[in-house]
Amino acid sequence: MDLKTKVLTKSLWVFHAACSPCNNCDIEILDVLTPRHDAERFGIILVGSVRAADVLLVTGVPNRKTAVRIKKLYEQAPKPCFVIAVGGCACGRVMFRDSYNSPCALDELLPVDAYIPGCPPKPEALLAGVVKVIQKLRGE
């Protein structure tokens, strides 16, 4: 693992990007910042611009409008950028597979590094998922 990546895992700057979610996963992501779970003690900070992001947390099914946008967003993120698919919809589209407005799954658009399934995944599951990414980066 290169030095840059090693340094990254001390404090992960996370950017939340939503495709077409129902909002539950997004609320649980924000929940992780609130006092009970308090992700900031792990050095996980939510940033307002994709250009500062180390990690892209993606929620929701890509629909025809958002598929284009999410791809552009990923291209704007400085590399290395790790993509975590949060929730059943981002992992595999679940019940929206057959929809006329859902052309493909997220991992056909972007390289996904981690999948956190659930509908929505509990905040504990989110933290566990991010910790797994950190461990993977550190080579543990």
Partner 1 sequence: MSILAQVKSKLDDKVIDWQEHSPRRIYITVRPKDIKEVARLMFKNLGFRFVIASGTDTPAGIEILYHFSYDKGGILFSVRVLIEDKKNPQIDSIATLFPAAEWIEREMWELLGINFVGHPNLTHLLLIDDWPQGEFPLRHKER
Partner 2 sequence: MSHKVVIPIGPYHPLQDEPEFFRLYVEGERVVDIDIVIGYLHRGIEKLSESKHYDQVAFLVERICGICSNSHPFAYVLAVEDLVKMEVPERASYIRTIIAELERLHSHLLWLGLAGHFIGYNTVWMWAWKYREPVLDLFELITGNRQHYGMMKVGGVRKDIEEEDIPQVRKMVDDLVPVVDMFKGAVMDDPVIKARLKRVGVLTEQQAIDWCVVGPTARASGVNIDVRRDDPYGAYDKVDWNVIVEKDGDIFAKTVVRILEMHESISIIRQCLDKMPKGPIDANLKDVSIGEGIGRVEAPRGECFHYVKSDGTNRPVRHKIRAPSYMNVASNKVAAVGGTISDAAITLAAVDPCYCCTERVAVLDKKTSNKMMNGWDLIKLSQDKTQRIRESYGAKP
Interacting span for partner 2 (CB under 8 A) from 2-10, 33-41, 104-112, 131-139: 33-41
Backbone angles phi, psi at 71, to 5 degrees: -65, -45
81 forms part of the interface with partner 2 (CB under 8 A): no
* Minimum CB distance to partner 2, residue 138 (Å): 26
Helix, strand, coil % over all residues of the chain, rounded to 5:
45, 15, 40
Which one of 48, 100, 139, 140 is in contact with partner 1 (CB under 8 A)?
100
How many C-beta atoms lie closer than 10 Å to residue 103's C-beta? 13
Q: Do residues 8 and 73 lie in contact, with contact meaning Cβ atoms separated by under 8 Å? A: no
Ramachandran category for residue 27: left, alpha or beta (phi over 0 → left; psi -120 to 50 → alpha): alpha
DSSP code per residue over 53-91: -SEEEEESB--HHHHHHHHHHHHHSPSS-EEEEESHHHH
Cα(44)–Cα(24) distance, integer angstroms: 20
Query: 101-120: which residues touch partner 2 (CB under 8 A)?
Result: 101-102, 119-120
64 forms part of the interface with partner 1 (CB under 8 A): yes
Interacting span for partner 2 (CB under 8 A) from 15-23, 77-85, 107-115, 130-138: 15-23
Which one of 8, 12, 28, 74 is in contact with partner 2 (CB under 8 A)?
28
- Chain residues that interact with partner 1, rule: CB under 8 A: 64-65, 100-101
- Chain residues that interact with partner 2, rule: CB under 8 A: 15-18, 20-28, 30-31, 34-36, 46-50, 61, 63, 65-66, 69, 73, 89, 95-96, 98-102, 119-120, 122
